[in-house]
């Protein structure tokens, strides 16, 4: 016998009441690709599981009036990949989301779960930070928005308040000449956890970078927004000097751990290398738009 309860509310209000009432024993179930593994391992013992996938706002992708996107927190990676326009506008965000796990995992795993699981190595998060995504969270005291980079608080911890649920990501409209990209360093080609992950989004006008954002994963307790790297790119023609300066800014932002996946020195160096490669791909894509 167990004393776990499973709920699958059809509305966000019901989900919030149930989630808030159950307190710290409650867990949100989106794709379950982290939660079920944690339950199986015994590291999480939820009293209440709130499945949010019957709430349409959580599972739909909308193109907003100005040309932005709103992605429900529980939209699986495979569904995002099948959207006719999303991958054309945000190829870097899509490639980051689609790097999470296998085909089977892509059928379930969501960007919302990836963010709330709050792994420093979460693949979708650097790309979402680079994209300037704003998340909507809803809780007992209503809805609020926050920049995606403010959600992770540390490994496995978020800045969501008790009872709050991540609802959606809003990605802003793209100016002409914009492109984004995500690269991660792993020792193999598939199914691994990032040693370093780098997301870059930028806008070019007449060959000059007019806006940039850089997200860096697996090099600190949370995924980082590296403003100094973006600053080094803006105003440049992405020449070697600018790329080297941005790479140095990424390496300087690193506060990594030594573990079996990589040493502090290796991660710090690779952060700079990946920045240059990722920015170059983002710039190529920007040139086509």
| Minimum separation from the CB atom of position 261 to another protein (A) | 17
- Of 65, 75, 54, 70, the C-alpha closest to 136 is 70
By C-beta, is 64 or 102 nearer to another protein?
102
Over the window 80 to 109, marking each residue x when it contacts another protein by CB under 8 A and - when it does not, the resulting string is ---------------------xxxxx-xx-
Q: Which residues fall within 8 angstroms of residue 197, CB to CB, at 6 or more apart? A: 96, 121, 123, 126, 182, 183, 184, 185, 216, 217, 218, 223, 274
Q: Answer yes or no whether residue 29 interacts with another protein by CB under 8 A.
A: yes
For another protein, how many residues bind (rule: CB under 8 A)? 30
Q: How many Cβ atoms are within 10 Å of 74's Cβ, its own excluded?
A: 28
Which of residues 10, 21, 153, 191 is near another protein by CB under 8 A?
191
Q: Which is nearer to another protein, 91 or 256 (CB)?
A: 91
Query: One symbol per residue from 5 to 24: x for binding another protein (CB under 8 A), - otherwise; what is it?
Result: xx-x----------------
- Residue 102 burial (10 A CB sphere; 0-12, 13-18, 19+): exposed
Question: 63 in helix, strand or coil?
Answer: strand
Stretch that binds another protein, among 46-54, 140-148, 169-177, 257-265 (CB under 8 A): 46-54
Q: Report the C-alpha dihedral over residues 215, 177, 90, 156, rounded to 10 degrees.
A: 10
Taking the least distance from each CB to another protein, the nearer of 101 and 126 is 101
Helices (H) then strands (E): counts for the chain:
12, 14
CA–CA distance, 76 with 139 (Å, rounded to integer): 23
Name which of 24 and 103 has its Cβ closer to another protein. 103
Residue 93: helix, strand or coil by DSSP?
helix
* Interacting residues with another protein between 197 and 236 (CB under 8 A): none
Angle among Cα 271, 274, 279 to the nearest 5 degrees reads 125
One of 16, 20, 28, 51 touching another protein (CB under 8 A)? 51
Q: Which stretch binds another protein (CB under 8 A): 4-12, 150-158, 196-204, 276-284?
A: 4-12
Q: Which residue in 16, 19, 30, 32 binds another protein (CB under 8 A)?
A: 32
CA atoms within 13 A on the CB side of 142: 2
Q: Does 3 bind another protein (CB under 8 A)?
A: yes
Residues that bind another protein (CB under 8 A): 1-6, 8, 29, 31-33, 36-37, 39-41, 49, 51, 53, 76, 78, 101-105, 107-108, 190-191
């Amino acid at each position: 016998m167990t004393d776990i309860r499973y709920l699958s509310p059809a509305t966000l209000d019901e989900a919030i009441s149930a989630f808030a009432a159950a307190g710290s024993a409650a867990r949100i179930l989106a794709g379950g690709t982290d939660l079920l593994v944690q339950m199986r391992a015994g590291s999480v013992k939820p009293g209440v599981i709130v499945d949010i996938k019957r709430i349409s706002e959580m599972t739909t992708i909308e193109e907003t009036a100005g040309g932005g996107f709103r992605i429900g927190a529980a939209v699986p990676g495979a569904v995002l990949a099948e959207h006719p326009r999303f991958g054309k506008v945000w190829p870097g965000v899509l490639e980051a989301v689609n790097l999470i796990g296998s085909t089977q995992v892509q059928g379930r795993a969501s960007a919302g779960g990836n963010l709330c699981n709050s792994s420093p190595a979460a693949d979708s998060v650097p790309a979402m930070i680079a994209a300037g995504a704003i998340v909507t969270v809803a809780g007992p005291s209503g809805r609020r928005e926050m920049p995606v980079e403010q959600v992770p608080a540390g490994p496995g911890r978020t800045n969501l308040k008790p009872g709050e649920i991540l609802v959606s990501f809003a990605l802003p409209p793209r100016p002409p000449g914009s492109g984004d990209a995500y690269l991660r360093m792993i020792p193999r080609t598939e199914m691994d956890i990032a040693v370093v992950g780098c997301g870059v989004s930028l806008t070019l006008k007449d060959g000059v970078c007019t806006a940039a954002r850089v997200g860096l994963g697996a090099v600190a307790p949370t995924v980082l927004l590296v403003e100094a790297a973006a600053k080094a790119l803006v105003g440049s023609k992405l020449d070697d000097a600018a790329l080297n300066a941005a790479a140095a800014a990424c390496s300087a932002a690193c506060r990594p751990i030594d573990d079996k996946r990589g040493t502090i020195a290796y991660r710090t160096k690779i952060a700079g290398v990946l920045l240059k490669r990722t920015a170059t791909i983002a710039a190529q894509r920007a040139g086509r738009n």
